[in-house]
Amino acid sequence: MHIVCMPAQTKNKKISMAKEKRTAIEPTRQEDYPEWYQQVIRAADLAENSPVRGCMVIKPWGYSLWENMQRALDAMFKDTGHTNAYFPLFIPVSYLEKEAEHVEGFAKECAVVTHSRLEAGPDGKLVPASPLEEPLIVRPTSETIIGEMYSRWVQSYRDLPILVNQWANVVRWEMRTRLFLRTAEFLWQEGHTAHATKEEAETETLKMLRVYETFAQDFMAMPVICGRKTEGEKFPGAVDTYCIEAMMQDRKALQAGTSHFLGQNFAKASNIKFLSESGEQEYAWTTSWGVSTRLIGGMVMTHSDDDGLVLPPKLAPLHVVILPVLHNDSEKANVLAYCNSLKDEISSQYFNGDKIKVSIDSRDIRGGEKVWSWIKKGVPLRLEIGPRDIANSAVFAARRDTGEKKAYSRAEFVASLPEILGKIQNNLFARAKKYRDDNTSEIKGRKEFYSYFTPQNPKKPEIHGGFACANYDGSEDVEDMLRKDLKVTVRCIPLLGGEPDGNCIFTGKPAKYKAVFAKSY
């Protein structure tokens, strides 16, 4: 893909360009947000659709984001006392049926395995053979199969708590899919814990919610609201579902992680019983919590701009890319030698506990194309190094997040790299938080609410709406109405949202909550 364009951030630079193009990504966010999102992913080479309906291929640059997320999350899970294990991909249909709400939630869209062999049919083509006695579904989530195993592992209170996490693929036969955000197969982690008391399980549920909050904010630089879901929005089979909700740049909400207090529902369904300290047979209290490759979509939509991907340094596969500027072959050896020694110096520096990742792009392609390829990939810092920089022992550095370009002395740059990367990380968070706060409104009446969520031009709806905080009576009728009229849902009842300060803006009845409403992914 050849890019001949001039983005907003470098409009003073002379690059030959097709006049009609202004940004590396077409369309822009304002022009067509969903299409912009697809194009950012494509331009950064993160993932693509596969020929298998709804299943994506996560390409190396995208997968390395997932690896970095996994590493950070896994360390946080282990720090909070969890270990990893692995449970079967398949769930017998009879297991799913054990929990009534659960089966209701997952039976409608699942991959069903019915045969264990293929054989040549009458026309020579392969057809399924050897039917299974009981069909299996590919796990959409593992509460029921893990519950069955826990029921075998738990006899006494001494066997509790069980604090286990699984990194796995899961399948939900979604009809409308979108890379990272909603795919038939996705990668995730699912924590499943069992406890002797209700209090301990509730504490665990909230502890893991806070782990997700910390990860989203500190690593992804994505501000989130911690809250509880309403009855209508909670996980099928849960007593309470807690979530972190983030705002994308189209002002829609993205549910980025959930932590479920399952009460004794699944313990009863799976018969997870234990002999308590006082000698009684009791059901355990369980939790489950998960985040998925959806986070990558959230990160893309939180920070990227009309020139492509923007990555927070704490999760970037590469922090610094060095681009040698070569005008003729005679300079080549000298410039590359300088770049190599600079690379060694940079990679001996640390950021966030790990060595700084740096690479030299010495591909033999046009300079503009090369620069743009790294802009679109979201690398936090680009260094252009030519003979003049070498003569001055200087470094010319461009920040991806702000577009700022600055000359440093080499020594100064290398020494301040951890600080610069930290600044980029903090800037991304501050910018995203400002965007969210600017687009969050306290709404006092129904009419104002409807107007807030209605685009001005219904034929070509611009980016509109945001997070609406409003007094709400907690009724499902209101939820149904808003879903139908505006495609708006209660995102959560924030844990720090405060008490309602008036009656429900929709019904006039006493308000139960101050809730956050939004359109969402």
What sign for the dihedral angle of Cα 367, 372, 373, 378? positive
Reading the block at residue 70, the tokens are 């996994």
Strand partners, 131: 115
Q: How far apart are the first and last CA of the chain?
A: 29
Q: Number of residues in contact with its own copies, rule: CB under 8 A? A: 60
Nearer CB in complex with its own copies: 175/496:
175
Question: Which run of H or E residues covers position 151?
Answer: helix 143-153
Instruction: Name the one range near its own copies by CB under 8 A: 63-71, 270-278, 319-327, 421-429.
Output: 63-71
Interface with its own copies, residue 86, by CB under 8 A: yes
Subset of 183-202 contacting its own copies (CB under 8 A): 185, 187
When the beta carbons of 144 and 230 are compared against its own copies, the nearer one is 144
The CA distance from 278 to 78, in Å, is: 31
Distance, in Å, from the CA atom of 332 to the CA atom of 320, rounded to the nearest integer, reads 21
Site string for its own copies, 12-51 (x = CB under 8 A): --------------------------------------xx
Q: Does 136 bind its own copies (CB under 8 A)?
A: yes
Compare residues 96 and 226 and give the one whose CB is closer to its own copies. 96
| Binder of its own copies out of 10, 28, 64, 520 (CB under 8 A) | 64
Candidates 102-110, 320-328, 343-351, 366-374 — which segment interacts with its own copies by CB under 8 A?
102-110
For its own copies, the closer of residues 66 and 517 by Cβ is 66
Amino acid in the structure at residue 358: V
Separation between Cα atoms, residue 371 and residue 369, nearest integer Å: 6
Asked if 92 interacts with its own copies (CB under 8 A), we say yes
Q: Which is nearer to its own copies, 4 or 127 (CB)?
A: 127
Q: Does 137 bind its own copies (CB under 8 A)?
A: yes
- The Cβ of residue 461 has, within 10 Å, a number of other Cβ atoms equal to 13
Min. distance of Cβ 147 from its own copies in angstroms? 11
Q: Give least dist CB 106 to its own copies, A.
A: 9
Residue 286 main-chain phi, psi, to 5 deg: -120, 160
83 binds its own copies (CB under 8 A): yes
* Beta bridge partners of residue 492, listed in sequence order: 516
Is there binding between residue 366 and its own copies (CB under 8 A)? no
Between 167 and 450, name the residue whose CB sits nearer to its own copies.
167
Please report whether residue 85 would count as binding its own copies according to CB under 8 A: yes
Q: How far apart are CA 383 and CA 376, in angstroms?
A: 15
- How far lies 31's CA from each of 26, 172, 306, 411, 467, in Å? 9, 31, 10, 43, 21
185 or 473: CB nearest its own copies: 185
What is the Cα–Cα distance from 212 to 254, expressed in whole angstroms?
A: 14
Minimum CB distance to its own copies smaller for 96 or for 316: 96
Q: What is the 3-state secondary structure (H, E, C) of 440-480?
A: EEECCCHHHHHHHCCCCCCCCCCCCCCEEEEEECCCHHHHH
CB-CB contact of 312 with 430 (8 Å): no
Nearer to its own copies, 63 or 435 (CB): 63
Q: Is 479 in the site for its own copies (CB under 8 A)?
A: no
Q: Which of residues 250-289 bind its own copies (CB under 8 A)?
A: none
Q: Where on the phi/psi map is residue 388: left (φ > 0), alpha (ψ -120 to 50), or beta?
A: alpha
Instruction: Provide, rounded to whole angstroms, the least separation between the CB of residue 294 and its own copies.
Output: 14
CA distance linking residue 441 with residue 406, whole number of Å: 38
Q: H or E segment at 243?
A: strand 240-247
**Residues 105-134 interacting with its own copies (rule: CB under 8 A):** 107-119, 125-128
Q: Residue 155 CB, nearest distance to its own copies (Å)?
A: 12
β-pair type (253-261, 240-247)? antiparallel
The answer to whether 337 contacts its own copies (rule: CB under 8 A) is no
Least Å distance, CB 59 to its own copies, is 6
Is residue 316 a contact partner of residue 380, using CB atoms and an 8 Å limit?
yes
Binders of its own copies among residues 140 to 169 (CB under 8 A) are 145, 148-149, 164, 168-169
Q: Is 87 in the site for its own copies (CB under 8 A)?
A: yes
Q: With contact defined as beta carbons under 8 Å apart, do 139 and 168 qualify? A: yes
The residue whose two tokens read 């018969």 is 271
Residue with tokens 């630079």: 13
Smallest distance, its own copies to C-beta of residue 89, A: 5
Residue 2 vs 108, nearer CB to its own copies: 108
Residue nearer to its own copies on the CB measure, 4 or 118: 118
CB nearer to its own copies: give 95 or 449.
95
* 135 CB burial (10 A radius; 0-12, 13-18, 19+): middle
Residues that bind its own copies (CB under 8 A): 50-52, 55-60, 62-64, 66-67, 83-93, 95-97, 103, 107-119, 125-128, 135-138, 145, 148-149, 164, 168-169, 171, 173, 185, 187
